[in-house]
């Protein structure tokens, strides 16, 4: 699949079906479906589409404050046929733009090499770890300072 341009917008309830369609976990797990529905209802879910005449959903990301009341990205998902084409970067970049405050946190399992690679590529740095959430697969916490804060720290 070619993805020439990624368009980002806030997801609305009629996007729910297309997000579930491209997310293999949502197709089999009602908790993921409920999470998507709740994020859309709370205006916390951003959808990525390609620029075709009939736009195809290529991914989504969620931004909330469920992590110690900090800006937090609990989930980024890219359609499997659209991966390694910059969609993940586009989603994280949009969530950074949307987030108010100086810090943006996210987390991923240590075993998730694609997400760890994406986070490092986007300038996140590791900011701790939590054992015993998933057996034998440490949860790694990542954080990125907002652009203004990075400029202030560098000055």
Ligand X SMILES: CC(C)(COP(=O)(O)OP(=O)(O)OC[C@H]1O[C@@H](n2cnc3c(N)ncnc32)[C@H](O)[C@@H]1OP(=O)(O)O)[C@@H](O)C(=O)NCCC(=O)NCCS
Binding interface with ligand X (CB under 6 A): 75-78, 83-89, 108, 112-115, 117-118, 121
**Minimum CB distance to ligand X smaller for 19 or for 148:** 19
Q: Residue 114 Cβ, how far from ligand X at the closest point, in Å?
A: 3
Q: Residue 16 Cβ, how far from ligand X at the closest point, in Å?
A: 18
**Minimum CB distance to ligand X smaller for 16 or for 62:** 62
**Minimum CB distance to ligand X smaller for 5 or for 149:** 5
Q: Which residues is 67 bridged to in the sheet?
A: 70
């Amino acid at each position: 699949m070619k993805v020439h341009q990624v368009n980002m917008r806030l997801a609305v309830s009629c996007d729910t079906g297309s997000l579930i369609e491209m997310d293999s976990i949502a197709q089999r797990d009602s908790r993921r479906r409920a999470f998507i529905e709740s994020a859309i209802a709370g205006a916390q879910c951003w959808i990525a589409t390609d620029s075709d005449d009939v736009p195809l959903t290529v991914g989504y990301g969620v931004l909330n404050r469920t992590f110690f009341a900090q800006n937090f990205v609990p989930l980024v998902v890219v359609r499997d046929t659209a991966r390694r084409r910059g969609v993940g970067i586009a989603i994280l970049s949009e969530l950074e733009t949307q987030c108010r405050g100086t810090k943006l946190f996210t987390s991923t399992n240590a075993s998730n090499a694609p997400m760890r690679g994406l986070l490092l590529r986007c300038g996140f740095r590791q900011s701790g770890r939590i054992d015993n959430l998933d057996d034998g697969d440490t949860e790694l916490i990542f954080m990125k300072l907002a652009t203004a804060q990075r400029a202030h720290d560098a000055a």
